[in-house]
Amino acid sequence: MHLRWGHADEVEVLAFDIFGTVVDWHGSIVREMSALHPQVDGDAFALAWRAGYRPAMARVMSGELGWTLIDDLHRRILDEILPQFGLAHLDEAARSHLNRAWHRLDPWPDAVAGLQRLKRKYIVCTLSNGNLGLLTRMAKRAGLPWDCVLSAEVFRAYKPDPATYRGVARVFDLPPQRVMLVAAHHDDLEGARACGLRTAYVERPLEFGAGKVKDVSPQAANELHSRDLLDLAEQLGC
């Protein structure tokens, strides 16, 4: 693929969505559940937990809830769904440990090697709705070699709020076209594009598990379309 940028537009920063794009939240929650609570349907549990995620952030962004970190939103949702899965009896320590499962998500098999290659040429940072503590502990456990951990927590706004995409460009004192968002979600990329960022889509057909394969067909509006992060490194000449 021929890249369309010249020197003044050269991309310097690759900002990555995390949940689903870099790490396999579904498979990791299933793994945690089969170790901790094997009697529960891990696939259904993971999907139920994640289903509460967007509505919870929407309540924050509408002002109905004050500013709340993802760790706390995950915990609210967890407390809501536990009874539906026969786990209403879990005590505080068990709930708290389970909630930290989001700090222990495994990377997709290509992620660490892909990021190591991309990092040679670009600043690689997170741009996730996950909070800084979650992202840092996840990276340390998984070996994700970020140059910088950025989060909705820094900008006090959740994606796709423009403050997040513009915030990354501002942090690095760059015009938005010198930042590229890498994500497995078209709405996230659309939000970034509306702020002038470049966009790269990553196929993650199994994001929601093998029972719910995702359509990963290309959308023309994205500058790049990649199978995984190794393919993205290849396309970017890293």
Could you tell me which stretch among 41-49, 53-61, 84-92, 171-179 binds its own copies (CB under 8 A)? 171-179
> Measured between alpha carbons, how far is residue 94 from residues 34, 165, 190 in Å?
15, 36, 38
Could you tell me which stretch among 14-22, 45-53, 74-82, 129-137 binds its own copies (CB under 8 A)? 129-137
Among positions 28, 131, 199, 222, the unique one binding its own copies when judged by CB under 8 A: 131
Name the minimum Å distance from CB 35 to its own copies: 23
Nearest to 123 by CA among 184, 170, 180: 180
Name the minimum Å distance from CB 187 to its own copies: 26
Per CB under 8 A, does 154 bind its own copies? yes
Nearest to 18 by CA among 115, 119, 162, 123: 115
Per CB under 8 A, does 163 bind its own copies? no
β-sheet with 148-151: strand ranges across: 148-151, 123-128, 13-16, 179-183, 198-202, 224-226
3-state secondary structure at position 64: coil
* Half-sphere exposure (Cβ direction) of 187: Cα atoms closer than 13 Å: 5
Q: Could you give the CA distance from residue 150 to residue 157 in angstroms, rounded to a whole number? A: 12
- Amino acid letter, residue 151: S
Per CB under 8 A, does 150 bind its own copies? yes
Among positions 52, 133, 162, 196, the unique one binding its own copies when judged by CB under 8 A: 133
Our CB check for its own copies shows the closer of 136 and 235 to be 136
Residues near its own copies, by CB under 8 A: 71, 123, 125, 131-133, 135-137, 139-140, 147-150, 153-154, 171-173
